[in-house]
Structure 1
Amino acid sequence: MPTIRKYTLPEIDQTAQWLLDELKNRKVIALHGTMGAGKTTLISAVCSLLKVEDVVSSPTFSVINEYRYNENGITKRLYHIDLYRLKDEEEAIRTGVEDCLYSGDYCFVEWPERAEALFPDDTTTLYLRVEGDTERSLEIA
């Protein structure tokens, strides 16, 4: 059964914390949503909660951004992947996406439908939707 949370931009940090709590130990997250639905904004909020020190930005042109954060004295990685510009799964493989997906690190992937067959079976699917002028909904399917 899907879990849905509605939020506004001022509530993004609480929503990111809720998401991390809901994910438990699941690390690969496929984010579906239209342009402007808030995918990158949500990932930035997650990075902020994890205390990522790097500048978080959309990887639209680089495809993969790698961020580092510290968890209990151990340096960990988070991959922010944007498949929007890729044509197919073969291009995703050549770009190194598959390596990230199976790394055991967090992987937040925008536009996952470009390479769905590459994703692990335990991928968490999120749907972000614009709900009116100021509200968004986040569904964990």
Structure 2
Amino acid sequence: MNLKADSLSDLSEVANALIDFAEEEKIWVLEGQMGAGKTTLSKAIGRALGVQDTVNSPTFSIVNEYLTASGETIYHFDFYRLETPEEALAIGIEEYFYSGNICLIEWAEKIGEYLPERFVKIVIEDLGGEKRNYKLSKHD
């Protein structure tokens, strides 16, 4: 599935379409070059899911936890700073990934084989300015 956004104001529509597309899948991998808008999309997803807190990049903390108005927990990972995949094990990623909660993952390629087999992949293509293309697919 492909989605397009011509501006940031289109992101709520993209986020809602992504939520519908994901159905019951809880692991969401966001791919794209540095500055493509992975965290910006994560913020829109958080708003669409009713996150009460401000969604920020977990670049330095590696994982942020958000609570929705309905009491659900969402985990947001940024593995950019990891040197080895084993560092992800040290923070307990398996507990997060198999918690039954939505996990938004940036830079998943850094954790290699530790990524669960089933996930939704969102590839973000920067088309210049605020324009983006989002390619959604399911993997299992």
TM-score normalised to structure 2 length: 0.92
Cross-structure match for 1:39: 38
**Alignment partner of 1:16: what SS?**
helix
Runs of 4+ with deviation above 4 angstroms: none
Q: 2:52–2:69: 8 Å Cα contact kept in structure 1?
A: no
- Alpha-carbon shift at residue 98 of structure 1 (Å): 2.2
Secondary structure of residue in 2 paired with 1:113: helix
Classify the secondary structure of the residue corresponding to 1:61.
Answer: coil
Give the drift of 1:35.
0.9
Flag the structure with higher strand content: 1
Q: Which residue of 2 aligns with 1:22?
A: 21
CA distance in 1, matches of 2:44, 2:24: 18
What residue ranges of structure 1 are gaps of 5+ in the alignment?
none
Contact 1:64 1:97 in 2 (8 A): no
Question: Mapping of 1:104-123 within 5 angstroms?
Answer: 104-123=100-119
Secondary structure of 2:65's partner?
strand
User: Which 5+ residue runs of structure 2 have no aligned equivalent?
Assistant: none
**TM-score normalised according to structure 1 size:** 0.92
2:99 corresponds to: 103
CA-based RMSD of the aligned residues comes to: 1.1
Q: Do residues 78 (structure 1) and 74 (structure 2) align? A: yes
Identity %: 37
SS in 1 for 2:12: helix
Q: 1-side partners of 2:112 and 2:29: how far apart?
A: 9
Contact residue 32 and residue 110 of structure 1 kept, 8 A? yes
Matched, 1:89 2:85: yes
